[in-house]
Chain A
Amino acid sequence: MALAKQMISRVTLYRISAALFLLTLWEAAGASGLFFKGVLPSTWFIGKSLIRLSGDPIFWGHFSVTLFEILSGFAIGSLVGIIVGLALGMNRYSGQIFEPVIEYLAATPKVVFLPILLILFGIGVGSKISLAALSCFFPMTLSLAAGVRGMNPMFLRVGQTLNLSLAQRIRMIYLPALVPPISTGLRLGFGIATVGALLSEIKLSNKGLGHAAMQAYARFDIPTMMAILIVIFALAGLGNMLIGSIIRLPGPNTRRLTKETS
């Protein structure tokens, strides 16, 4: 118990010192004069920009557009990814036929699809949502297909002896058994959906955080651009943490169990 507490506080300590170290490095690099003046603005300016943005309704407009794009793309891509992943894992032939293609596409940066998506869905939120959806579809599909194949076959045998329908097997066996790969797919997917939405905003758009960051860049307002990037990182990190803590297996918390025994 005491050991565990000590461990946690040590980890936190390392994290804080790492953050301080990076901060110092940033300030030192900015002050060193090795870069163009203003490329690495002092964190103090970035902080000031952050505070100014938080009171700016235009910024919140961009923020809500981006959030909407990420969340809808994430929801669509994850849902389709779960369905396709299940189908690929459950059927040996469909897996063998389609998985190499999906694996190949998964490794391709999704921005290459942007021109097609722009033609299909226009320069509004449609193309951003579809790129976010496309981005998080792949990790979810692959994570789930592998998860299905790694499932304990005994679970399915129990279902077989009870003559469960396909819907029952999916609801009562596959989905609960696959909570870990689904959670992994969601967490990976959220980050990638964020990147997808922002990349397409940066490329071509008139709304959203990506657009706002590009505007700031065009004005050479680097502190504001940095502040927007920080908001984006925070959004991705927060989403990841939330998903990790919401989508968990029921049952004993293993970390707590090991703590109690130590």
Chain B
Amino acid sequence: MMHDTHSTPTLSIQNVSKHFETGKGTVTAVDHVSLDIQQGEFISIIGPSGCGKSTLMNMIGGLITEYDGSILLDGKPVRGCQPEIGMVFQEESTFPWRTALDNVAFPLEAGGVPKDKRHVRAHELLDLVGLTGFENHFPSELSGGMRQRIAIARTLAFQPRILLMDEPFAALDEQTRLLLGDKVVQIQQKLKQTTLLITHNIAEAVQLSDRVLIMTFRPGRIKRVVEITLPRPRSSEMVGSEKFAAYVAEIWADLRQEASKGLKETEAAAAH
């Protein structure tokens, strides 16, 4: 993807750091992270568990407002939640008392969209995530992956310009994950949304992204940015290709160091 270096980036993260005060001292979750994201770009963040990915997303999404540095949306500083930014959480977040359809329609209902209109829209979105026919099912009657797709459709419902997704496919098996990845690419291409995806899965990051950010184990810094120049549209069939494998190997080499650092540290902490 070509970047117009003269235009203001849609999202600009400048020197952002976040420290947590805990009973055992200060934890630096995010350390001087800077990143510019252009309109329509698809960025993945990949890094070992506990490196501060969710923290970073919560700062961008406005759920954490106390931090150092600044985050700019279209050049203007943001604190607090913005209607332009939609979030899909790592944790289960569907409302168990609402049907799939009413879950997806939730943001529209809050926005005062009349019932018939929001139901039409929610139907379209459920179709988009492949859940046609499950409109009247409650979350407890669906699988974890289906619930996560409801959460995605619910976030898409209010048409955010920027989509932040925190490991939305973590609970899925590899096959479903790849197929859903196709779906996400289709949706993103169709809606031209700027997307930030947090993932543990290298293949998923390569398949979906324009750029992959590799984060270090604590303190969370950006270790390297890998541009993925594979042609679009991409589909899961690409996963077998040689070029694809080269990207995966490249990212894994970097990630491996960080992951083993993380493992060693947790083992050392456990031994104490």
> Do A and B actually bind?
yes
Q: What is the interface of chain A, defined by CB distance below 8 A to chain B?
A: 152, 154-155, 157-158, 160-164, 168, 172-173, 176-177, 179, 249-252, 254
User: Is the Cβ of A172 less than 8 Å from the Cβ of B109?
Assistant: yes
Partner of B110, one of A152, A168, A179: A168
User: In the complex, what's the smallest C-beta–C-beta distance from B108 to chain A, in angstroms?
Assistant: 10
Number of interface residues of B (CB under 8 A): 26
Chain A residues with CB below 8 A from B91, complex form? 154
User: Is the Cβ of A160 less than 8 Å from the Cβ of B63?
Assistant: yes
A-B pairs with beta carbons under 8 Å apart, 17 shown: A152-B92, A154-B92, A157-B89, A158-B89, A158-B93, A158-B106, A160-B63, A161-B61, A161-B63, A161-B86, A163-B81, A168-B110, A172-B109, A173-B95, A176-B95, A249-B97, A254-B140
User: Is the Cβ of B97 less than 8 Å from the Cβ of A179?
Assistant: yes
- Select the residue from B80, B89, B95, B140 with max chain A CB neighbours within 10 A: B95
- Secondary structure of the B contact surface, majority rule: loop
- The verdict on B83 contacting chain A, using a C-beta distance below 8 Å, is yes
User: Is the Cβ of B106 less than 8 Å from the Cβ of A172?
Assistant: yes
Report the bound CA distance from A152 to B154 in whole Å: 18
User: In the complex, what's the smallest C-beta–C-beta distance from A248 to chain B, in angstroms?
Assistant: 10
Report the bound CA distance from A32 to B80 in whole Å: 77
Report the bound CA distance from A168 to B91 in whole Å: 23
Chain A residues with CB below 8 A from B110, complex form? 162, 164, 168, 172
User: In the complex, what's the smallest C-beta–C-beta distance from B150 to chain A, in angstroms?
Assistant: 12
Partner of B158, one of A160, A162, A250: A162
User: In the complex, what's the smallest C-beta–C-beta distance from A102 to chain B, in angstroms?
Assistant: 28
- The verdict on B255 contacting chain A, using a C-beta distance below 8 Å, is no
User: Is the Cβ of A155 less than 8 Å from the Cβ of B140?
Assistant: no
- The verdict on B96 contacting chain A, using a C-beta distance below 8 Å, is yes
Report the bound CA distance from A172 to B95 in whole Å: 10
Add 13 more A-B contacts to A172-B109, A179-B97 (CB < 8 A).
Answer: A154-B89, A155-B93, A158-B95, A160-B81, A161-B85, A162-B81, A162-B106, A162-B158, A163-B80, A176-B97, A176-B98, A252-B141, A254-B140
User: In the complex, what's the smallest C-beta–C-beta distance from B148 to chain A, in angstroms?
Assistant: 12
